[in-house]
Every structure is written in C-alpha cells, then in structure tokens.
Amino acid sequence: MPTSIQHFLSRTAATLGLFGSMAMAPIQVWAMSADSASVGRSGMPLMAANDVDGEVRDLVLKGDSIEVTYKNTGTRATAIVGELQVRGDDEELVCSVLLADSVVVKAGATVRMRVAMPTLPRGRYTMFAVVDFGGPEMTAAQAALEIR
C-alpha cells in the first residue's frame, strides 16, 4: 500500500458496541488521489483508467452496525482494502475499523461490508468509509453522525 494511503488509513484499535441514540446525516461520496505515481499497490504499472475503477455507493447505519456498499465499476477484477474511520469535530481520528483486506471484487460486482458500530461517547462525528481499489484514486463516502 502506498505511504500516503497508509497515513490516511491508519490502523487504530476500536472498541465495538453501541451507545446512546444516534442520528446520521445523508452521505457524500467522493474520490481522492491515492498517490501521484503511476504504479499500483503491487508496484506494477496501472492499467487504462477504465480497467481499474470503483466507488463507494452507500454508507448506512443499520441497527448496531454500519454497512458500506462498494461497486467495481472497472472492467477487471481488483482486490480492495477498506476502512471505516470515525473523526471528531476537531477532525482527530477517534477510531477506525477494517472493512476489507485484499477482498477480490469481480468487474461489475457489488459487495456489502458490515462492521459493528464503534462505541462512542455523546458528540458529533464524521464517518469515512475509504476504499483503495488499486487505481490512481481511492473512493470514499462520508456521513455526519450525532450521538445524543
């Protein structure tokens, strides 16, 4: 994984469970540059832009878990690495939970990844579901979360 992605997808421990009542705002889906180099995670040159592509389609609170939907919009199978990050009002990382680690997604396929909702004290947070699909960009969705 490129260094810039390792920095963004920091691996911190999370205590899992549910606390208080929650309200989630609608999600925002976006992409960000993974690395300025033209090589993928394996060090091999990247294929044509439409060969390797994907997007996080949804980030949904379902009971005591979070469900993230990812679609491979490219023309070949790719291995994805993903993480759910929770950040506080000060943008400080509160916790992170691994969504996927080298999960192979066929071209055109959609996968749903579900993780337990982290235990959080009352407050306002932003959740980020970030997926590296091996292309020149990463895809992500974000949602506001308030725990009362």
Q: pLDDT at residue 20 above 50? A: no
- Residue 27 contacts residue 141 (beta carbons within 8 Å): yes
Residues 119-132, mean pLDDT to the nearest whole number: 94
Q: Report how far residue 52's alpha carbon sits from residue 108's, in angstroms, rounded to the nearest whole number.
A: 11
Q: Report how far residue 50's alpha carbon sits from residue 40's, in angstroms, rounded to the nearest whole number.
A: 14
pLDDT at residue 51, as a whole number: 87
Q: pLDDT at residue 13 above 50? A: no
Residues 107-117, mean pLDDT to the nearest whole number: 95
pLDDT at residue 71, as a whole number: 96
Q: Which residue, among 105, 42, 35, 40, has the nearest Cα to 68 in the 3D structure?
A: 105
Of 70 and 20, which is predicted with more confidence? 70
Block residue for tokens 């407050």: 123
Q: Report how far residue 46's alpha carbon sits from residue 90's, in angstroms, rounded to the nearest whole number.
A: 36
Residues 97-125, mean pLDDT to the nearest whole number: 94
Residue 33 forms beta bridges with which residues?
137
pLDDT in tens, 34-78: 443 344 454 445 555 568 999 999 999 888 999 999 999 999 999
Residue 104's contacts (CB-CB under 8 Å, 6 or more residues apart) are: 77, 78, 79, 80
pLDDT at residue 136, as a whole number: 86
Q: pLDDT at residue 17 above 50? A: no
pLDDT at residue 5, as a whole number: 37
pLDDT at residue 115, as a whole number: 95
pLDDT in tens, 81-106: 999 999 998 899 999 999 999 999 99
CATH topology of domain 3-38+50-147: Immunoglobulin-like (2.60.40)
